[in-house]
Amino acid sequence: MDENDYLCSVNMRRMVKYVTVLLLLVMILACRAARDIDLPRPLKGVSEQILYRKGYVVSYNKDTRLPNWVAWHLTAEHTEGMVKRPSNNAWHDDMEVPKPRATSRDYYKTGWTRGHLCPVADNKWDSEAMYETFLMTNCCPQHQSLNTGDWNEIEMSCRKWAKKHGDLYIVCGPLFIGKQHEEIGANRVVVPEAFFKVVICLNGKPKGIGYICRNRGDNHKKRFYQHSIREVERITGMTFFPHLSSKVAKAVKDSADENEW
């Protein structure tokens, strides 16, 4: 090996080492970002397994085969990116949760769609983050009209607000009304009667807003579904963003006005 080949080999090894370290730092920062989210207070009397993903965090319920909630930090940067939605069926089982667990086959010919909780379009910034949105633990049986209609409109508003204000913190999940619920598939995946979403922005004047949508083919303006976060807490029995100061919590939880956004 002559001197030029030797120097080329050394530089190549240095470059590989540099890229490896850089990738590890990116992974660490992404994981740390997920863990820095102010997660809802631990649930009482409900099965709960916390799962950390690159772009979101899940509280998984092995009894319903669904998430209790999904939480994520949506930044202006995360609303954009070059990653394309997979053209084929990217939904896949979550091997981190015990059997029986939801599979795509459970949805086959049921009339229910696989509804994302943390949206694909919030994760165009990273291919791994987007792929993880297709885990079945980020999914609920959702009415087709809700999935592509009013729920989608709320998701698009969140991305618009993140671009406008810099970043948001979001939590959403299924709601069960009454004691009897429809179940689908061999794994008896429970069908929610409704869904909730709470959103806060801490930049400038702190503000918050909540939504509750019935799991059916309604078609209303967003204001129809609007609630204060305090009201969503009352309905769900959950406590969102529990580590906010009392002053900020009052500002974001006690009222909801889309005009502030």
Nearest to 121 by CA among 178, 91, 81: 81
Q: What angle do CA 100, 191, 188 make, to 5 degrees?
A: 25
pLDDT of 8 reads: 56
- Residue ranges of domains in the chain, CATH in brackets: 37-260 (3.40.570.10)
| Burial bucket for residue 145 (CB in 10 Å: 0-12, 13-18, 19+) | middle
Indicate which residue of 73, 78, 92, 116 is catalytic: 116
User: Is 116 an active-site residue?
Assistant: yes
| pTM for this predicted structure | 0.87
The predicted pLDDT at position 27 comes to 41
DSSP string, the chain: --HHHHHHHHHHHHHHHHHHHHHHHHHHHHHHHHHTS-PPPPPSSS--EEEE-SS-EEEEETTTTEEEEEEEEEETGGG--SPPPPSS---B--TTSPSS---GGGGTTSS-EEEESS-GGGGTT-HHHHHHTTBGGGEEEE-HHHHHTHHHHHHHHHHHHHHHHSEEEEEEEEE--SS---EETTTTEEPPSEEEEEEEE-SSS-EEEEEEEESS-----HHHHEE-HHHHHHHH----STTS-HHHHHHHHS---GGG-
Q: Per residue of the chain (261 residues), give pLDDT as tens.
A: 565 565 556 565 665 455 343 434 434 444 444 567 999 999 999 999 999 999 999 999 999 999 999 999 999 999 999 999 987 789 999 999 999 999 999 999 999 999 999 999 999 999 999 999 999 999 999 999 999 999 999 999 999 999 999 999 999 999 999 999 999 999 999 999 999 999 999 999 999 999 999 999 999 999 999 999 999 999 999 999 999 999 999 999 999 999 999
Give the burial class of 38: count Cβ atoms within 10 A of its Cβ; 0-12 exposed, 13-18 middle, 19 or more buried. Answer: middle
Check residue 11 and give its pLDDT: 60
